[in-house]
Amino acid sequence: MGVESRRDDPLKPPLGTINVIFAALGRTGSWPSKGPKRCKLDDQLVLGFSDADKVGTVQPHDDALVVTLRIGGYDVKRVMVDQGSAAEIMYPDLYRGLNLKLSDLTPYSSSLISFEGRVVTPKGQIRLPVQTGSEVVEVDFIVVDVFSPYTAIVARPWLHALGAVSSTLHQKIKYPSEGQVCEIRRDKSIARQCLVAAIQHEPGAESSTKGL
């Protein structure tokens, strides 16, 4: 699974915003429109975390790291960062939001295991740019037709290509860009909504995944 990085114009506006509507929750989650926070550095770049990075979080917690990323030119909400995975995944809401068709996908023959423990046969794979600030990484997303409270999962290939480190404890991502360390922060309420939606979802009830 290959990834490529480049730089782009961080001031270029998104083509739109893609979000998930939770039928189980009966509402659409909101997300503040914020870009990566740039940190001033004195001598050299240090990608790490300290207790100061916990400011704004409620400790202890076991929340997933859920962020907004610009994917394919759109600001996509409810993206989970999973440093324990080697595969980037795209779910039906993002697939439909990007107006993709099966003809846009390339074959992907390997099966995957869903969060519910089922074997899933992917619909295919597509390569899309993921932009954070001025940094752009081309990512191969595997498209699956299963329920998920998330729009997508980004994993080690994206993190490594970006030169980033993530921390679920501190609920943020840090990455180098133009001689500075930038941050992408989570939204706690969105992560909790995703957790509730996953708990309320009944196995076999794939009502939100039809139409790929």
Structure confidence by residue, pLDDT tens digits, 68-123: 999 999 999 999 999 999 999 999 999 999 999 999 999 998 888 776 677 889 99
At residue 94, the 3 state secondary structure works out as helix
E-state strands within the chain: 4-7, 16-18, 21-22, 27-28, 37-39, 66-71, 74-81, 88-90, 112-113, 119-120, 124-132, 135-143, 152-154, 165-167, 172-177, 180-185
Q: CA-CA distance, 51 to 148, in Å (whole number)? A: 32
Predicted local distance difference test score (pLDDT) of residue 48: 92
The topology (CATH level 3) of 4-200 is: Cathepsin D, subunit A; domain 1 (2.40.70)
pLDDT single digits (tens) 32-66: 334 344 444 445 778 899 999 999 888 998 888 99
Q: What is the pLDDT of residues 126-169, one digit of tens each?
A: 999 999 999 999 999 999 998 888 999 999 999 999 999 999 99
pTM over 0.95: no
DSSP state of 150: S
List the beta bridge partners of residue 76. Answer: 18, 69
Between CA 66 and CA 205, with CA 75 as vertex, the angle to 5 degrees is 60
